[in-house]
Chains A and B, each alone.
Chain A
Amino acid sequence: KNEVEQSPQNLTAQEGEFITINCSYSVGISALHWLQQHPGGGIVSLFMLSSGKKKHGRLIATINIQEKHSSLHITASHPRDSAVYICAVRGNFGNEKLTFGTGTRLTIIP
Chain B
Amino acid sequence: EAQVTQNPRYLITVTGKKLTVTCSQNMNHEYMSWYRQDPGLGLRQIYYSMNVEVTDKGDVPEGYKVSRKEKRNFPLILESPSPNQTSLYFCASSLSLFDTEAFFGQGTRLTVV
Chain B residues within 8 Å of chain A by Cβ, number: 28
Q: Which residues of B contact A90 (CB under 8 A)?
A: 97
Q: Are B107 and A42 in contact (CB under 8 A)?
A: yes
Q: Which residues of A contact B25 (CB under 8 A)?
A: none
Q: Which residues of A contact B106 (CB under 8 A)?
A: 41-42
Return the CB mask of B37-80 against A: 1 if under 8 Å, else 0: 00011111100101000001111000000000000000000000
Q: Which residues of B contact A98 (CB under 8 A)?
A: 33, 35, 45, 48, 58
Considering the complex, give the chain B residue whose CB is closest to the CB of A101. Answer: B42
Q: Are B107 and A41 in contact (CB under 8 A)?
A: yes
Q: Are A99 and B45 in contact (CB under 8 A)?
A: yes
B84 at the interface (CB under 8 A from A): no
Q: Which residues of B contact A41 (CB under 8 A)?
A: 88, 106-107
Which interface class (under 10, 10 to 19, 20 to 34, 35 or more) fits A? Answer: 20 to 34
Considering the complex, give the chain B residue whose CB is closest to the CB of A98. Answer: B45
Return the CB mask of B70-105 against A: 1 if under 8 Å, else 0: 000000000000000000101010100111111110
Q: Which residues of A contact B58 (CB under 8 A)?
A: 97-98
Apart from A45-B100, A102-B41, what 15 extra A-B contacts exist at CB < 8 Å? A31-B98, A33-B102, A41-B107, A44-B104, A45-B102, A47-B100, A48-B100, A50-B98, A90-B97, A97-B48, A97-B58, A98-B35, A100-B42, A100-B44, A103-B42
The 8 closest A-B CB pairs, nearest first, are A45-B102, A102-B42, A43-B104, A100-B43, A48-B100, A97-B58, A98-B45, A100-B42
